[in-house]
Structure 1
Amino acid sequence: MPVKRYDSSIVDVAPLGQPLKFEFSGKVAKNRFYKASMAEDLASWNVEDLEERGIPTKELIELYRVWGENEWGVIATGNIDIEFDMLDAIGDSIITPECPFSGPRFEAFQELAKAATAHGSLVVGQVTHPGRQLAARIRKDTISASATQHPPKNGIEYAKPRAATKEDIARVVDGFAHAAEYLDKAGFDGIQLHGAHGYLIAQFLSETTNQRTDEYGGSITNRLRLVSEIAREIKRRVSPDFIVGIKVNSVEFQEKGIKPADTRILCETFQELGFDYVELSGGNHEDIGWGTKKDSTAKREAYFLEFVRDVVPHLSKTKKILTGGFRTTAAMVDALDILDGIGLGRPAAQEPRLAADILAGKVASAVQPVDGVVDDVWLSLSSAGSQMVQIVRGQEPFDLSNPKLAESFKKDLAAQIGKIIAANGSLEIRGFPELSDPDATSHPYGVPY
């Protein structure tokens, strides 16, 4: 059956092909497409030997080679953690302050950067610390802005947090800054601080999770202190032309988060710190914020566009990129009236060639998954993960608009969840579902459905 795509009016896509200059670093992206971060689960993993964790594998490097040859202006990696035992997910890449600028890990990061940038794309490493979103099966204790436990969610138990001490904070600052210097020396074009989706930086930014009474809590200026210290230390260590970006969260701008009145201070601080761009997103582990629950949101297409309109007036030199819901060229081009870049995540797993095909006029929109996929966050993210595995195996990602293949994948996901439950917290279990339908794996990469 033919692939089903979202309906889009025909528009001139030339604005999407315009270069984007980042004012502080001076780097120039060749177009406005931003391949947003996704969990790849393709780095090395070792249960016993921590130092064997988080090294980019040949499979991960191949994934970035494929994206790199397909006209993405900027390619952001999945999470790169700054501790071996405080990581967002098994299979993340890892750079800790102890990692030297030489050896197998460093060489693997060099290979990844080379693969991603071979055709003119820029590559930035998204660096993160999970804070209270650390799964308890990885480690039982963790740090956060305050000792606010993350409630169990979707069968996941979270580590017990304590309020970070000054020594903990110094370690975090050093971790982000060392990762930036490491990426710079390895040939990356920049770093993105993950300050969204409920991770540690977001935990300091939000009043919901930051109940501190010292200089890191209270006012928005104080809650920004961790970001400020990280950014200044990064700038001290990296090359002048190294991009520094940050991802922030629409959820944190709501009640009990960052109040709308604080957005001006937040944005002005980002510009003062020399952030080249802000990627605007939404959601956290408690409420991911994706989907089309409101009719107005569905019509608007980009889930967080209302949030963006509050932020944009306060940013000039710092570029604005939005990730979350873009699926048609009509909406993308229209959004460039207030944005500088268009972030695409899951569509880039379904179609690594999407940016190239849009610019070449081959397609006007992304593949439209069958009903229920987009609004089921674990189904949607897991399918993207399995599609990325297919790419590195030389297979065309299975077509989520095909009801038969989508239904088969739901069964594969259920089987994977069953394995995880049966493993009872074992760290040996990792990865995305294996596909059982032969038709889902029978198309060589580059031979579309």
Structure 2
Amino acid sequence: MNASQTLGQPLTLPNGSVVPNRFAKSALSETLGSVDLRVTKALPKLYQRWAEGGTGLSFTGNVMIDRRHLGEPNNVVLEDDRDMDMLKAWAAAAKSQGGLVWMQLNHPGKQTPKMLNKDPMSPSAIPFRKEMQAFFGTPRAMTEDDIQDCIKRFANAAALAKQAGFDGVQIHGAHGYLVSQFLSPHHNQREDHWGGSIENRMRFVVEVYKAMRDATGKDFSIGIKMNSADFQRGGFDENDAATVATTLAGLGIDLIEISGGTYETPAMAQGSEHHNKKLGKDEPVKESTKLREAYFLEFAEMLRSKVDVPLMVTGGFRTSEGMAAAVESGACDLVGLGRPLCVEPDLVKRILSGEDFTSVVRPIKTGVKMIDKMALMEVSWYERQLHRMGKGKAPRRQDQGFWSLIDVLWLMTYRGLFNRVGRLRA
């Protein structure tokens, strides 16, 4: 089969839900909520654009379960049914061309900016590394009541997403947010039954999954985005990841998306050379690995030998040939795309029509070492393209890094101040 035939095949999930092709828009934090953290008209408009572009499965980004704990300004928070009409419009727009849409649910834990939260919490009171402490405060260790409240909030949000017409939900268990913090022995140094062994550290995500399943039923799709590794010494590693994945697969999870890294070690925005360095490996990356594009395919191949649940790999895909090869190899069932769909939202339709596709995405460098190392600039620049599409405009292909940095810093300051005001009024 050629690339369009391979990638155009439908995929049936364990609960019988069918994804019409092998393309998935990975969750991207849109920050298109209102200042009081509600759904805006920009979100249905944005997801209508991806639906028209042919994406088979779209994941929303970073819907928060607790308004006291935000990842960024202008997140959407889902605690009750006050936005049900707009939530239904969002889901309907994303599904308008026959694709599916899942809501990603998240709690940032300590990965919440100081300007938004003066009282962050995490499994343990472990601060970020020194150069990041200007942005993120030292968290307090969560109490048992905090933990149980979070589990209930994840389940409640899942039930509301189902009511709104979303086809499923995804637990954000990657990139250093709360679920990821529980899984990591670096961030989770608890001495009770929520910490220590991997069996204890994964107890939180297992209980979140079970509570969600109880709240939504067996026919509703539930997945997880999880790290193959944190790429931090003493952190969550590939053996831990395999244990978590096999446990959740045994419990009936419908899809596992594989990514990697945290804000401190942003592997999700970098390549294989970065991964090897963070793992203490000095050997050069094999040319065959580079040609395979996606950063986490080797881990996916290992995991495939252990679980039957469908796997999605996100990070690094840039050509239709590389995407098709990953699916043909059996390493993954869905191709996860983030940044490429920010600048070319119709790329799925183009590939399925037979186009030999190569993405225009390339690294954005500002020249400010700390900013480039943290990858926050790239995240913010791509968010700007989502905002353009949310207004009905075409995204830009690429800007010069320094001027994008100035624009993004101004925007973050402006929105952060108004977000505070909006929260005080809410």
TM interval, short-chain normalised: 0.7 to 0.9
1:367 Cα deviation (Å)? 1.8
CA contact (8 A) 1:56 1:93 kept: yes
Establish whether residue 64 from structure 1 lines up as the match of residue 47 from structure 2. yes
Q: CA RMSD in A?
A: 2.4
Name 1:304's counterpart in structure 2: 296
Name 2:281's counterpart in structure 1: none
Q: Distance in 2 between matches of 1:239 and 1:129?
A: 22
Distance 1:346 1:155, change over 3 A: farther
Q: Distance in 1 between matches of 2:228 and 2:204?
A: 19
Distance 1:369 1:261, change over 3 A: closer
Distance 1:352 1:429, change over 3 A: farther
Q: Which moved further from structure 2: 303-312 or 131-140?
A: 303-312
Say which SS state the counterpart of residue 141 (structure 1) adopts. coil
Instruction: Output aligned runs, 1:21-32, within 5 Å.
Output: 21-23=12-14, 25-32=15-22
Name 2:118's counterpart in structure 1: 140
User: Quick one: which amino acid aligns to residue 65 of structure 2?
Assistant: I
Q: Which moved further from structure 2: 149-158 or 219-228?
A: 149-158
Name 1:445's counterpart in structure 2: none
Q: Distance in 1 between matches of 2:167 and 2:415?
A: 40
Establish whether residue 172 from structure 1 lines up as the match of residue 150 from structure 2. yes
Q: Distance in 2 between matches of 1:324 and 1:413?
A: 23
Q: Deviations over 1:233-253 (max 9, x none)?
A: 111110332110001113337
Q: Which moved further from structure 2: 228-237 or 287-296?
A: 287-296
Q: Deviations over 1:140-184 (max 9, x none)?
A: 112211111123656852133122111111100001000100000
Distance 1:371 1:172, change over 3 A: closer
Instruction: Output aligned runs, 1:251-400, within 5 Å.
Output: 251-252=229-230, 255-289=233-267, 290-292=269-271, 294=273, 295-296=285-286, 298-316=290-308, 318-336=309-327, 337=329, 338-369=331-362, 372=365, 377-400=375-398
- Percent of aligned pairs with the same residue? 35
Name 1:444's counterpart in structure 2: none
1:398 Cα deviation (Å)? 1.4
User: Quick one: which amino acid aligns to residue 380 of structure 1?
Assistant: E
1:319 Cα deviation (Å)? 1.0
1:363 Cα deviation (Å)? 4.3
Say which SS state the counterpart of residue 191 (structure 2) adopts. coil
Establish whether residue 190 from structure 1 lines up as the match of residue 188 from structure 2. no
User: Quick one: which amino acid aligns to residue 94 of structure 1?
Assistant: V
Gaps of 5+ in 2: 274-284, 367-371, 422-426
User: Quick one: which amino acid aligns to residue 397 of structure 1?
Assistant: P
CA contact (8 A) 1:135 1:156 kept: no
CA contact (8 A) 1:152 1:158 kept: no
User: Quick one: which amino acid aligns to residue 41 of structure 2?
Assistant: K
CA contact (8 A) 1:268 1:315 kept: yes
Q: Distance in 2 between matches of 1:212 and 1:275?
A: 27
Distance 1:152 1:347, change over 3 A: farther
Q: Deviations over 1:277-336 (max 9, x none)?
A: 1110111110101223625454331122233233222111x2110000001111111111
Distance 1:77 1:419, change over 3 A: closer
State which of 11, 14, 27 in structure 2 corresponds to 1:37: 27
Say which SS state the counterpart of residue 213 (structure 1) adopts. coil
Distance 1:365 1:419, change over 3 A: closer
1:424 Cα deviation (Å)? 12
Q: Distance in 1 between matches of 2:310 and 2:30?
A: 26
Q: Distance in 2 between matches of 1:371 and 1:35?
A: 21
Say which SS state the counterpart of residue 251 (structure 1) adopts. coil
Distance 1:307 1:427, change over 3 A: farther
Q: Distance in 2 between matches of 1:60 and 1:228?
A: 30
Establish whether residue 122 from structure 1 lines up as the match of residue 100 from structure 2. yes
Taking structure 2 as the reference length, what is the TM-score of the superposition? 0.87
User: Quick one: which amino acid aligns to residue 51 of structure 2?
Assistant: G
Q: Distance in 2 between matches of 1:334 and 1:87?
A: 38
Say which SS state the counterpart of residue 67 (structure 1) adopts. helix
Taking structure 1 as the reference length, what is the TM-score of the superposition? 0.83
Say which SS state the counterpart of residue 252 (structure 1) adopts. coil
CA contact (8 A) 1:127 1:176 kept: yes
Q: Distance in 1 between matches of 2:403 and 2:242?
A: 47
Distance 1:29 1:427, change over 3 A: same
Name 1:84's counterpart in structure 2: 67
CA contact (8 A) 2:257 2:313 kept: yes
Name 1:438's counterpart in structure 2: none
Instruction: Output aligned runs, 1:219-238, within 5 Å.
Output: 219-238=197-216
Q: Distance in 2 between matches of 1:372 and 1:429?
A: 30
